[in-house]
Amino acid sequence: MELIRIPRIMLETSKQHLSKGKTIGLVPTMGALHEGHLSLIKRAKSENDIVAVSIFVNPIQFGQNEDLDKYPRDTEGDMEKLKSEGVDILFMPEVKTIYPARFSTYITVKDLSDRLCGAFRPGHFSGVATVVCKLFNIVMPTRAYFGQKDFQQTAVIKRTAEDLNMNVEIVVCPTMRESDGLAMSSRNAYLSHGERKAASVIYKALKTSSELIKAGNVNTADIQKHMHDMLKAEPLISETQYAGVYDADALDEINEFKKQNLIAIAVKIGSTRLIDNMLVEF
Amino acid sequence: MELIRIPRIMLETSKQHLSKGKTIGLVPTMGALHEGHLSLIKRAKSENDIVAVSIFVNPIQFGQNEDLDKYPRDTEGDMEKLKSEGVDILFMPEVKTIYPARFSTYITVKDLSDRLCGAFRPGHFSGVATVVCKLFNIVMPTRAYFGQKDFQQTAVIKRTAEDLNMNVEIVVCPTMRESDGLAMSSRNAYLSHGERKAASVIYKALKTSSELIKAGNVNTADIQKHMHDMLKAEPLISETQYAGVYDADALDEINEFKKQNLIAIAVKIGSTRLIDNMLVEF
């Protein structure tokens, strides 16, 4: 596995592969790799000649009171996992290389960025869109892989890529889950034993909602109430930021089911913020 | 000359040229071509294997009360000029192709965009940065050519390209001038005979300022007063939006001369807005 830290060298490396007609799959990550990331890497390996993984904890997608400083980092463990998966290139730039002092350009996706998580994390999706655009221009991937767990992120990135005519295919892969259904996330490491047990209620609320919707005879308000009731019944949930039924494209709340419906939840357990979602299609 | 209207076809055409090791020079324009544009094309031809010119009157860089609707258009005349210059590709997309209904992604360059013209044209440079990013992704130029007349535009585009790691060299070419010094601009066509004669005061104010600075014994306040006095003495100038001495990188007003100084003016003559600038270097 080749470790590259300098954007210019990453670009030259990609150009060389592309000039030989090779395809490049990029899996952008913030490190602290888990099975969710590894599933993206496996998919990328199956579809591309070269797989590049980036590890970069992107400061501009964290709010002032968020967890940038304590975000889990495990470079050695990550590198072992990437080698095991047969990753070709690890791109791990420094913050000052990606954001030099004069940096002042930001990408904003209107509307999509303000909903759901965006309402609780102002600037977050602008930070995501900006760094992903930079990574795409540095790595020049044929395809880039993201997990459905961060559904709104995938929507924002797809819109950015389409709107800015970026030459990359965005591939969204299924959410990987622990045995009790909890969506895998680097932030699960923040949870105490009791919190970790409590966290499975998120999946249960989504799963039962999905089943209720498919069984019929419920409306979106029923589902919203069902989810909120289940979350409220778990005393370790300190805040429910949102729980409801949303348009899978526009991400706005809907009052009637459509062909494709997003059910999504964001809660805080203690100080740890967790999100999850499912698509329910008719 | 190949006329291309569809971004996907433009991209495929560029990819074919690039795969053969050819370089592509792009001259982005809004049409109504004059000698200023043609000088960019000549420079692009001298430095690249393939020259592409885009003509696209970009609606999102016009404010609500600006001249989008009356902006001069002369497609047939433009095409004749481009053929005469030996341009290889004319990329002339439709507005609905560049901005489909769902379009919602904007690039913003902080600080640089708010100064000088930006203070009078909110959103303008975001519109410029966004369309230029799109054009770069569609045409994949090796180099892109812009005129120094739109100095702030070149600064914003250079910053966007650097900040977003875009793989293109930005080439800034000298301002082309009429015989009386007036900077060439498609908007000069708006001027009546009397306004056209009056407009040369802009160049004269810059030229005399440049000479005063180089002669020494003046400070930036003297120069600012000199420019304002000259502009005020021309009765057809209806508004002086700015006239002063600025840092050539940050574009903020400066109180002491530096190694590189930008002197710049924006005025209205009747309802026509005109800008011009010079660099004064020590």
A71 domain-assigned: yes
Residue B37 designated active-site:
yes
Query: Which helix (H) or strand (E) element contains residue A211?
Result: helix A200-215
In order along its 282 residues, chain B shows pLDDT tens digits of 999 999 999 999 999 999 999 999 999 999 999 999 999 999 999 999 999 999 999 999 999 999 999 999 999 999 999 999 999 999 999 999 999 999 999 999 999 999 999 999 999 999 999 999 999 999 999 999 999 999 999 999 999 999 999 999 999 999 999 999 999 999 999 999 999 999 999 999 999 999 999 999 999 999 999 999 999 999 999 999 999 999 999 999 999 999 999 999 999 999 999 999 999 999
Q: At what angle do helices A7-19 and A124-139 cross, to 10 degrees?
A: 50
Based on the domain organization, do A16 and A144 belong to the same domain?
yes
- Tell me how far the alpha carbon of residue A58 is from its chain's centroid: 13
**Range list of β-strands (E), A73-127:** 89-91, 105-109
Based on the domain organization, do A75 and A142 belong to the same domain?
yes
Based on the domain organization, do B19 and B145 belong to the same domain?
yes
CA nearest to B98 within chain A:
A163
Contact B134 A105 (CB under 8 A): no
Based on the domain organization, do B58 and B126 belong to the same domain?
yes
Query: Which helix (H) or strand (E) element contains residue A13?
Result: helix A7-19
Based on the domain organization, do A48 and A166 belong to the same domain?
yes
Tell me what pLDDT residue A222 has.
98
Contacts of A160 in chain B (CB under 8 A): 105
Based on the domain organization, do B168 and B113 belong to the same domain?
yes
Given CB atoms, is B52 within the 8 Å cutoff of chain A? Answer: no
Contact A105 B108 (CB under 8 A): yes
Domain count within chain B = 2
Name the residue range of residue B257's domain: 186-281
Task: Look at residues A173, A197, A214 and tell me which one is the last residue of a structural domain.
Answer: A173
Contact A164 B133 (CB under 8 A): yes
Based on the domain organization, do B152 and B85 belong to the same domain?
yes
Tell me what pLDDT residue A232 has.
98
Task: Look at residues A173, A201, A217 and tell me which one is the last residue of a structural domain.
Answer: A173
Tell me what pLDDT residue A159 has.
98
Based on the domain organization, do B51 and B103 belong to the same domain?
yes
Name which of A144, A142, A29, A150 is nearest A90 in CA terms: A29
Based on the domain organization, do A69 and A206 belong to the same domain?
no
Based on the domain organization, do A11 and A83 belong to the same domain?
yes
Given CB atoms, is A16 within the 8 Å cutoff of chain B? Answer: no
Tell me phi and psi for residue B104, to 5 degrees.
-155, 20
CATH number of the domain within which B70 lies: 3.40.50.620
Given CB atoms, is A17 within the 8 Å cutoff of chain B? Answer: no
**CB-CB contact of A189 with A72 (8 Å):** yes
Contacts of A161 in chain B (CB under 8 A): none
Based on the domain organization, do B101 and B231 belong to the same domain?
no
Task: Look at residues B139, B173, B207 and tell me which one is the last residue of a structural domain.
Answer: B173
Based on the domain organization, do B161 and B230 belong to the same domain?
no
Given CB atoms, is B55 within the 8 Å cutoff of chain A? Answer: no
A272 domain-assigned: yes
Contacts of A13 in chain B (CB under 8 A): none
Tell me what pLDDT residue B145 has.
99
A181 domain-assigned: no
Given CB atoms, is B102 within the 8 Å cutoff of chain A? Answer: yes
CATH number of the domain within which A226 lies: 3.30.1300.10
B275 domain-assigned: yes
Tell me what pLDDT residue B180 has.
98
- List, run by run, the mean pLDDT of 10-residue segments along chain A (282 residues): 98 97 98 98 98 98 96 97 98 98 98 98 98 98 98 98 98 98 97 98 98 96 98 98 98 97 98 98 94
- The predicted complex's ipTM stands at 0.97
A180 domain-assigned: no
Tell me what pLDDT residue B175 has.
98
* DSSP classification of residue B184: P
B180 domain-assigned: no
